[in-house]
Each structure stands twice: as C-alpha cells, then as structure tokens.
Chain A
Amino acid sequence: MDVIWFLVLSAFIFCIGATGVIVRRDPLVVLLCLELMLNAGNLALIAFARMHGNQAGQVFALVVMVIAACEVVIGLGIIVAMYRNRLRIDVDEMSELRG
C-alpha cells in the first residue's frame, strides 16, 4: 500500500483533533483531542519509518507515547484539582494567563 494513504489518514485524524481542541470547552474532551493529534503524528512517523525501512521513526513514536502519557497525567491532575476546588469544568473559565 502506498504511504500516501497513511498520511491522508494521519492528516485527517490530526485535523479532527485540532478542531476538537479549538472548538470544545470541556477539558476532558480537549485532552482526548490532544491525544488524537499526537497519535496522528505517531501514525505519520510509523508510515515514514516503514517507507524508509528503518526503525528510527518507530522509536520516536514510542517516545511520543511516553510524552502523551505524561501529559495526560498532568492534564487529568489539573481537571481533578478544578473539580476539588468546585470550579466550573470549562477551559474558557481559566483565563488568568492574560498578558
């Protein structure tokens, strides 16, 4: 199968993820969409690795997974903290990072 199909799928998933991050206000869904974006990247990496016939891309994909796991831990931690503090579960409410 040609590598182009994998890349099209990857781009497709990435766009879904990106749209989700921008459009949705629920932090849990935002995190899910981030995962989508990362995994789209993974898919592209593995596709290219297969095309070139070496393992470097696959190793990178593993690294990205680890980073994704870390990011989820932190993100979920923030969501739990928001819940504990009885804040509204809404990313637009957290706008203190203003200049």
Chain B
Amino acid sequence: MSATDYGWLILAFPVVGMLVVSLGWRVLPGRTAGWIASLAIGLSFLASVGALVDLQDHPHDERSLVDSAWTYVATAGVDVDMAILIDPLSVFMCLVVSGVSFLIHVYSVAYMGGDRGYARYFAYLNYFVFSMLLLVLAANFILLIVGWAFVGAASYLLISFWYRRQTAVYAGIKAFVMNVIGDVGLVIAAFLLLDETGTLSYAGVFESAGEAFGRNDGTLVAACLLILVGAFAKSAQLPLHTWLPDAMEGPTPVSALIHAATMVTAGVYLIARTFPLFELAPTAADVSAIIATATLLFAATVALVVTDLKRIIAYSTISQIGYMILGVSVAAYGAGLFHLMTHAFFKALLFMGAGSVIGAMAGIQDVDRMGGFRRAMPFTFVTFTIGALALAAFPLTAGFFSKDEVLAFALNRGGGFVVLALVGYLAAALTGFYAFRMVFRVFWGDPVPEARELEGGHVAHGAPMNPMTGEAEDTDVGFPGPEHTVAERSWPMKAAMGPLALLALVGGIVGVPALTDTLETFLEPTFEDSRYIADHPSEGAEWAGLGAGGLIALCAIAVAYLLYVRRPGTTLRLADRFAAVHRFLVHKWYFDELYDAVFVRPMATAGSFGRRVVETEFVQGFIVGGATGIVRAGTSLARTIQTGFLRGYALMLLLGIAALSLYFLISSA
C-alpha cells in the first residue's frame, strides 16, 4: 500500500467507527461503544504509522504526495478535488492527533462509563477526530475549510454534550459563534487567493503565489491576516480566545481532546501549512508573532488567579498555543510543531489527572476546596506532577526542549523579536508558577474530607450540581452521570495516563538540539523552500537558552513551593495588597465584559428595537396589515355573491354558461 492509501484509511476508520456507534447505540451493550470508538482511532493511528513508514521510503524530495478520489466541485474556472496531501507535516499531525486521541478515547471508556449518553459521546468523539484528520490531510483550501467547519460543529456538540445544563449550552454557542468568525475569515482568505492565483490547491497556490504577489503585496497581507483570523479563532488567541475557558463545560476528556490533540492546534497547523504565503507577507507574520506573544503573557497572568482547576489548565493551553504560534510565525516551524507535540502529551495528561481529581471531589472543580490528595491518589499525583513538570519546562522533560527551541529561534531573529522572546521567558516563569500552584494546592496541604474518604477506600458522592452555578441537577441523560471515576480505580484511565506520562517525560528526545533533531529533519521536506531554512540558532545559543529556561522553571517552581507549601496564606495577603491587579486578573482582563458591552449589548438593543419597532410596527402593521387590508376590501364584493342559496348558484351557473355559449356562437359566426 502506498502512503496515500494509508491516508484514506486514516480518514475511513473514524467515519466507520462513528457510523457503527451512532447507528448501533441501542444494541451495543455496556462499554462496547467506547471500545469500538477507541479501536477505530487506534486503527487510524496504525494507518498513520503505516503512512510514516511508507513516506520514509520515498526519496527526500518526493515526500509530498497528493491523491485525489473524485472531483468534489467542478465549476467554470475552479475544480476542487476530493484530494488528500501526504507529506511530513500532515503525517506528523495525523500521528499526534490520532495517537493522543486514541489515549483520550481509552480514558473516556472508563471516565464516561456512568453517563446516559455514552454512545452519543463516542459518536461525537469519533466525528471530532475525523474532522481534525480531514483538516490536516486536506490538499486544498476547500477541503481544509470543510474540515475546519466540521471541527467547529463537533466542538459545539461536545462542549454542550450535557445539553440540559444551561451553562454548557451557552458555552457551546459561544464556541461555535467564535469559530464561525474564524471560518468566515478563512473563507474570504480563500476567495482572495483564488481570485489572484486561480486555484485552490495548496501546491498551485504556493507555486503561483511568488509570481502573483510581490513581497508584502496588499492583497496577500489581507489574505494572510484573514487566515490568521481563522487560526486565532480556532487556536483561541487574542482577541478570539474567550470561548476556550468556557469550553470547560464539556466533559473533562473532551477538554483534553480539544486542548491537546485537536482543534486548538489547527491554527498552528494552518500557519505552518501556509508558510510560503506568510514568508511573502512578513507583515502578517509579524502581526501574528506579536499577538501570539501578547496572548501567551495574558493567559499566563490569568492562570495565576483562576481557581477552577480545569480553567487554570485552559488558560495554560491558550498560553502554550501562543508559544506555538510565535514559533511558526518566526519561521521556526519545526520548533513550533515540536512544542505542539509535547504540549499534546502533557496537556492531555494534565486534563486526565484533573478529571481524576474532579472525580474524587465528586464533581467539584474549585482548587480552593481541594488539598492533600497526595496520599489518597498516588497514581494521579505522580502523573499530574509529571504533566506539570513538562508544562513548567522542568529540565529534560518534553516541554523543556520544545518551549526553549521556540524562544531560541525568536531570539535568533534579532530586532524586535528579542522583545517577544523576553516576554516569552517572562511568561515561562509564570507558567512554572501556576503549574505548581495547581500541584501544591491540589496534592499538598491538609487532606480535605473527600481526600480522607478516598484514603478510607470510598469515592465521595455529593449531590449532583453544576460546578459553575451550584444549581442542583439530576443524573438523567443530558446531565453528568451518577458515577465518579478516579484513575486509581479503573485501569483504562491508568492505561491512558501511563503512556502520556512517559511521553511527557521523554518526548523531548526527538528534538534535543544538535544531538537528535529528529523531528526537524523529518519535517524538513515540507519546509525546505522556506527562505529562513538556514536561519538556525547556533548550538551554543540553543544550549544557553535551554539553561536559562531551565533555571527560570526551577526558580518559578521554588517560588510556588515557598508561597503555597512553606508559607500558605501568603498569596491571600498578596491578593489583598494588590486588590486592583487581582480583580483585573480574576475578571480575565475584562475581555468578556468588554465584548458584552461592545458586541452583545448593542446587538441585543438593536434586536429588541427591531422586534418592537421594525417587526411589530412596520412589518406586521404596515406591510402585512396593508396587504391583508387590500385583499379584504377586494374580496368583500365577491363574498356578497356567496348567498348560500343553492338555487341562486344554479341560476348563476346557467347564466354563465349561456353567456359563454352566446359569446362563442357570435364570435364563430
């Protein structure tokens, strides 16, 4: 089988899994649906491995294969094929997406075990993974947009999976609307590119972009900025990030899926995929780098004060995606994608650990209520700490190599990029601090009642309630199930977290500067046309960056230890001392309030104006009322003839026929 055959298989397995699970939900007993869905993604991962092996057999400069199944759209001037592109970049993405998704599926088999919507959940999950794989395998912009929109729809379905929970439904709507903003940007960008280059396939666009556009051509910059709108909406960058923390309303494995393997990495992938355009439009790339840097700092500051465990991880995702986008924007494609991969490992791990802790807390997510789980949940403690170490870029963990690679490249570009890199180091310090804020607050300190209960061998079961509003809920379909699951008690969860913990520890091995550089070498065929390909930081600079990054991480962890373990309560005093700053951060820099004032309220006002005045007075009163008035007046004459007397009708009929006959007789004579 050729690499492209494997590519079609990668797409086929999740579709089959989705169909089997969604059509057979009534007959599949127990956890069968979960295992079928996991198997589908597992096979998809194996197919990705097959594609990788086959691709490595190709000569170095023939590692970009396009295969078309049929013509998807055929119109005058535009022919779009149902085509997939297999090259190192797409194979890399497929491996990360299907691999991590597989583990998340396995985790979900146990985690969602008590939910009434079990089969529905796995059908959605398979659909989500399929959409993401379609997105990364697409060989033209149309299929990319199809996959892009599918991912948005799948995220909506999964975020509002507990559809009878009001907050979850609102969060789903918010995510969908934000994503549609990005979709629109991407579609318009595709229009602009089609208008100038006459084609929509990647190869065609990139080939003719050099002739169609000059450097920093206005149209091209506009197209790139619109691509960025799409990328930022999916990847939750400023100012389109507000949907992501709210997306925590979904089940915890969904958060892991959205944050680690799929969806938010789509923006990074998109910028890496369209790198020839961004290199022709450096202005757009600079805008992207600046916004990414602003985002990573912003999200890191907010993560310092949020108290919802899942939301802390959510803000750390926004921050880490910022690093990735910074990487691909400064032409450090290998580094950005390296960070994407390591982040997928440790972020999925962190969410799985958080899910286990939330299970032990019987659904409570507030870190203020947690503490002392170290002895009660040894497995979760170890794996979560490994995830936090990788997130904090603790020396020799996966995140250590990838994050510093990104920053080393940014430093190497010189000029204003140095500032961006320094901000990146600052945020890295904050990252180390908030990562261990989670660890210390959840696992250190005095055990809370739930932790003691677990130590006694019993998982806490509180009354089911919405963690955001505290409203009581039942455990019927459309609400979380009655069971609470901790990793210590169910082997599928352990089986998923174990490999991820290992990868979060040693995943950096594929990108140790000057020693392995495996990933960068592997991705090189995709990016060899980059004008910055030789623009590589020296080994010394990279190792110096690694040293600095490691030192920063260690200091940050030490400070967190000091504040949360040695002198608990210090943070409260700090919060009181700098109440204004604290309030500003707790309100997430007032982005939601700003959007509410700028977009939501005027829209709501305009809407109610439209309903009260335009609809009631003008449409109903004038247009509809006027039309019915005219008809009513016109028909009143006709109505008077309808007397109801049969004999009258008969007479009219006769007279009518007589008149007609007379007319024809006279006219024919």
Contacts and interface: CB of A to CB of B under 8 A. Distances in A.
A95 B643 contact: yes
A98 B643 contact: yes
B647 A91 contact: yes
B654 interface: yes
A27 to B, nearest CB: 9
Contact of B644 (A21, A22, A25, A95): A95
Chain B interface, DSSP helix/strand/loop, else mixed: helix
B interface residue count range (under 10 / 10 to 19 / 20 to 34 / 35 or more)? 10 to 19
Interface stretch (B304-312, B516-524, B565-573, B634-642): B634-642
A89 to B, nearest CB: 13
A71 to B, nearest CB: 14
A53 interface: no
B641 A99 contact: yes
Contact of A18 (B640, B643, B654): B654
A96 B644 contact: yes
Interface string A46-69: 000000000000000000000000
A95 B647 contact: no
A30 B646 CA distance: 10
B647 A98 contact: no
B650 to A, nearest CB: 5
Contacts of B646: 30, 91-92, 94-95, 97
Nearest to A97: B644
B638 A99 contact: yes
Nearest to A21: B650
B587 to A, nearest CB: 67
Interface residues of A, number: 14
A22 B651 contact: yes
Nearest to A96: B644
B651 A98 contact: no
A83 B641 CA distance: 29
Interface string B635-667: 000111111111101110010000000000000
B642 A99 contact: yes
B641 to A, nearest CB: 7
A21 B642 CA distance: 18
B655 to A, nearest CB: 10
Given A21-B650, A22-B651, A92 B645 contact: yes
Contacts, number: 36
Interface string B416-440: 0000000000000000000000000
Nearest to B636: A99
A96 B649 CA distance: 13
A25 B647 contact: yes
Contact of B647 (A21, A96, A97, A99): A21
B394 to A, nearest CB: 88
Nearest to B654: A18
Given A21-B647, A91-B646, A92-B647, A99 B639 contact: yes
B650 A98 contact: no
A25 B646 CA distance: 10
A91 B643 CA distance: 13
Contacts of A22: 647, 650-651, 654
Interface string B315-338: 000000000000000000000000
Contacts of B643: 95, 98
Nearest to B651: A22
A97 B654 contact: no
A92 B651 CA distance: 14
A99 B639 CA distance: 5
Contacts of B642: 97-99
Contacts of B651: 22
A68 to B, nearest CB: 16
Contacts of A91: 645-647
Nearest to B650: A21
B642 to A, nearest CB: 3
A91 B651 CA distance: 14
Contacts of B641: 99
Contacts of A30: 646
Contacts of A97: 642, 644, 646, 649
B632 to A, nearest CB: 13
27 contacts: A18-B650, A18-B654, A21-B647, A22-B647, A22-B650, A22-B654, A23-B647, A25-B647, A91-B647, A92-B645, A92-B646, A92-B647, A94-B646, A95-B643, A95-B644, A95-B645, A95-B646, A97-B642, A97-B644, A97-B646, A97-B649, A98-B643, A98-B644, A99-B638, A99-B639, A99-B640, A99-B641
Interface of A: 18, 21-23, 25, 30, 91-92, 94-99
Closest 3 CB pairs of A and B: A99-B642, A95-B644, A98-B644
Given A95-B645, A97-B644, 4 more contacts: A21-B647, A21-B650, A23-B647, A95-B646
